[in-house]
Chains A and B, each alone.
Chain A
Amino acid sequence: MRSNITSFELVAPDSLAQALDLLSQQPSEWRPFAGGTDLMVLLEAGKLKHRRWVSILNLPELKGIEESAQHITLGALTTYTEVLANATLRREFPMLCAAARETGGIATQNRGTLGGNIVNASPAADSPPALLAYDTEVELVSASGTRWLPYHGFHTGYKKMQIRPDELLRAIRLPRDKAGWRHYYRKVGTRKAQAISKVCFAGLLRREGDSVGDVRIALGSVAPIPLRCVRTEAVLRGQRLSTELIRAAQAELAGEIQPIDDMRSSAAYRSRVAQNLLAEFLTLTADRA
């Protein structure tokens, strides 16, 4: 335990309004603290520089899952356990559930939140590729109003994103428009649990006869941000599935991702595995009736 915990402030306001007030009165003076599964790790490593934290964990306005005919909307405090317990998510958004199942272990899944996962903005996060593939939108709220943004484009660079210091992520909305699409999610890591990914792949495909009617591809751990691979999608969209098409898509993917060498893996391995996963995605979703 490498921090002096007496130098940290943590307060727990009773309402969202009070929390937003704190975040807006002194921009960047106070920062939000949810499940703590990322922030406490930094604290214990002596790497948590910021000192004043607002616990948002009990704010009811950030909790709950709502369903309409068009959307399913998750409060930012939705935990991975809550994702797995939701029948609609299991049925219609299996990649998000696969990500939740493979995030840490049960103890992490009980405390970690989707909102925290998004704004912690690790490029290796498990859920963001699934969220990107599912055309997710996010709602940001502040003392001066709310706004919705497409999640694609939310991350603008390593740990940089389109959220102001006075804003909180409030909700995560997924359109229920992928009926009939095939889902493929695969996380490659050192072991099946408690492992940060070397590569993480989320793919969605709508068949039209022998061709790719439409497609979504998103990867983690191959760029400074969770990456939606629009160039690779463009190579595939409308084309007849074939070995040649898979090779062309792999070549495009290799140019679109920007993997690095780090303590978990190498750029070369990540590039090779990402291309392998793309081929497995296209082959599996082509084979299924």
Chain B
Amino acid sequence: MAETDKTEIKFTVNGAAQAVRTHAMTRLLDVLREELRLTGTKEGCGEGECGACSVMLNGALVNSCLIPALQANGAEITTIEGVAAEADLHAVQRAFIEHGGAQCGICTPGMVLAAINLLDDCRRRGVEPGDAEIRNGLAGNLCRCTGYMKIFESVVAACKKR
């Protein structure tokens, strides 16, 4: 089995221009973690079911374990490291701290991104998310520790603070 050549991938991550040389099929998850050392994005399942690897790609919430590096060429990516504004945490992050929304923390980056995606989407549409919408917004994120209630309460609180 011949090894393919590496290719150059150029993209923007958390506002900073990046260029990496990697194989076209390398998972975006691994590019972020191994090449760029942005280890906030986690591998939970490696098959797009758990949401621990969630990032924003061109404004859309995606599972980075399912994206080959070549398809991230030219993209704008936001990881969990990019959601806080300098020294101020994002409202969702503060809510998770205040309401105990994390135990081991592996699902937390993905949960925070999914919650931010939900709030931003609701704000764009001029609506406030109800319980059903929050559940739908987090439906792609699995947690093995908390039983979800404190995650749910954290997101409800974050919605109210806006």
Q: Enumerate chain A interface residues (CB-CB to B < 8 A).
A: 1, 4-12, 33, 36-37, 40-41, 43-45, 53, 55, 57, 81, 104-108, 110-111, 192-194
Contact = CB atoms under 8 A, between A and B. Distances in A.
A36 B66 contact: yes
Contacts of B54: 107
A105 B51 contact: yes
A44 B25 CA distance: 11
A81 B60 contact: yes
11 contacts: A1-B46, A8-B4, A8-B25, A12-B70, A104-B140, A105-B141, A106-B117, A106-B139, A107-B54, A107-B63, A194-B49
A106 B122 CA distance: 14
Nearest to A192: B139
B24 A8 contact: yes
B68 A40 contact: yes
B99 interface: no
Given A7-B3, A41-B66, 8 more contacts: A5-B27, A10-B24, A11-B24, A36-B67, A105-B139, A106-B137, A108-B140, A110-B61
B47 A5 contact: no
Q: How large is the interface on B (under 10, 10 to 19, 20 to 34, 35 or more residues)?
A: 35 or more
| Secondary structure type dominating chain B contacts | loop
A130 B32 CA distance: 38
Interface of B: 1-4, 23-27, 30, 46-49, 51, 54, 60-63, 65-68, 70-71, 73, 114, 117, 136-137, 139-142
A131 B2 CA distance: 41
Contact of B4 (A1, A7, A40, A45): A7
B46 A10 contact: no
Contacts of B142: 194
